Amino acid sequence: MSKEVPYKIYLEEKDIPSSWYNVRSDMKQKPAPLLNPGTGKPMTAEELGMVFCDELVKQELDDTSAYIEIPQEIRDFYKMYRPSPLVRAYCLEKKLGTPAKIYYKFEGNNTSGSHKLNSAIAQAYYAKKQGLKGVTTETGAGQWGTALSMACAYFEMDCKVYMVKVSYEQKPFRREVMRTYGASVTPSPSDTTEIGRKILADHPGTTGSLGCAISEAVEVATHNEGYRYVLGSVLNQVLLHQSVIGLEAKAALDKYDVKPDIIIGCAGGGSNLGGLISPFMGQKLRGEADYRIIAVEPASCPSFTRGVFAYDFCDTGMICPLAKMYTLGCDYIPAPNHAGGLRFHGMSSTLSQLYHDGYMEATTVKQTEVFEAAEYFARVEGILPAPESAHAIRVAIDEAKKCKETGEEKTILFGLTGTGYFDMVAYEKFNDGVMTDYIPTDEELEEARKKLPRID
Q: Least Å distance between CB 132 and a copy of itself?
A: 19
Instruction: Indicate which single residue of 18, 44, 180, 406 sits in contact with a copy of itself (rule: CB under 8 A).
Output: 180
> Given candidates 427, 435, 440, 448, which one binds a copy of itself under the rule CB under 8 A?
427
Stretch that binds a copy of itself, among 172-180, 198-206, 358-366, 438-446 (CB under 8 A): 172-180
From the CB of 427, what's the least distance to a copy of itself, in Å? Answer: 5
In the list 35, 277, 384, 393, the residue contacting a copy of itself (rule: CB under 8 A) is 384
Query: Rounded to an integer, what distance in angstroms lies between the CA atom of residue 305 and that of residue 61?
Result: 27
Residues 249-278 that bind a copy of itself (CB under 8 A): none
154 part of the interface to a copy of itself, by CB under 8 A:
yes
Q: What region, left, alpha or beta, does residue 114 occupy, with left being phi > 0 and alpha being psi -120 to 50 degrees?
A: beta
Residue 436 found at the interface with a copy of itself (CB under 8 A): no
x/- mask, a copy of itself, residues 81-100, rule CB under 8 A, reads x---------x---------
Binder to a copy of itself among 45, 50, 66, 80 (CB under 8 A)?
Answer: 80
Closest approach, Cβ 386 to a copy of itself, in A, equals 12
Examine residue 359 and tell whether it contacts a copy of itself (CB under 8 A): no
Q: How far apart are CA 21 and CA 258, in angstroms?
A: 21
Q: Looking at 45-53, 58-66, 105-113, 265-273, which segment touches a copy of itself (CB under 8 A)?
A: 105-113
Residues 6+ apart with CB under 8 A from 290: 284
CA pair distance 241, 250, nearest whole angstrom: 16
DSSP 104-142: EEE---STT-BTTHHHHHHHHHHHHHTT-SEEEEEESSS
Decide: is 32 part of the binding site for a copy of itself (CB under 8 A): no
- Cβ-contact 153, 112 below 8 angstroms: no
Distance CA 396, CA 312 (A): 31
Cis bond upstream, residue 260 (ω within 30):
no
Selected binder of a copy of itself within 67, 256, 359, 421 (CB under 8 A): 421
Q: How far apart are CA 210 and CA 316, in angstroms?
A: 8
If one asks whether residue 381 binds a copy of itself (CB under 8 A), the answer comes out as yes
Q: Which of 40, 45, 173, 357: binder of a copy of itself (CB under 8 A)?
A: 173
7 binds a copy of itself (CB under 8 A): yes
Q: Taking each helix axis from N to C terminus, what angle separates 349-356 and 236-255, rounded to the nearest 10 degrees?
A: 70
Give the single-character DSSP code of 15: G
How many angstroms separate the CA atoms of 393 and 36, rounded? 38
Question: Per rule CB under 8 A, is residue 133 in the interface with a copy of itself?
Answer: no
**Residue 18 makes contact with a copy of itself by CB under 8 A:** no
Residue 375 makes contact with a copy of itself by CB under 8 A: yes
Residue pair 58/45 in contact by the 8 Å Cβ criterion? yes
Q: How far is the CB of 102 from a copy of itself (least distance, A)?
A: 14
Query: Which among 64-72, 122-130, 407-415, 420-428 is the span making contact with a copy of itself, rule CB under 8 A?
Result: 420-428
> DSSP alpha helices (H): ranges in 7-116?
45-48, 54-61, 72-78, 90-96
Residue selected from 19, 111, 130, 368 as contacting a copy of itself according to rule CB under 8 A:
111
Q: Tell me phi and psi for residue 247, to 5 degrees.
A: -60, -45
Q: With respect to a copy of itself, which residue has the nearer C-beta, 168 or 311? A: 168
Select the span of 249-257, 285-293, 297-305, 427-435 touching a copy of itself (CB under 8 A): 427-435
Strand order in 184-188's β-sheet? 184-188, 158-164, 134-139, 227-229
Piece of the chain touching a copy of itself by CB under 8 A; list 21-29, 106-114, 264-272, 342-350: 106-114
Task: Identify which of residues 392 and 416 has a Cβ nearer to a copy of itself in the complex.
Answer: 416
Residue 312 vs 381, nearer CB to a copy of itself? 381
Contacts of 270 (CB under 8 A, 6+ apart): 233, 234, 239, 295, 347, 348, 350, 351
- 385 touches 422 (CB < 8 A): no
Size of the site for a copy of itself (CB under 8 A): 42
Going from the C-alpha of 300 to that of each of 6, 374, 434, the distances in angstroms are 37, 18, 17
Residue 377 CB, nearest distance to a copy of itself (Å)?
Answer: 11
Of 76 and 257, nearer to a copy of itself (C-beta) is 76
* Phi, psi angles (nearest 5°) of residue 8: -120, 130
Task: Give min distance, CB of 251 to a copy of itself, in A.
Answer: 15
Distances (CA, A) of 101 to 395, 396, 411: 14, 10, 5
Binding residues (CB under 8 A) for a copy of itself: these are: 6-8, 10, 12-13, 77, 79-81, 91, 109-111, 113, 150, 153-154, 172-173, 176-177, 179-182, 375, 378-384, 419, 421-422, 424-425, 427-428, 431
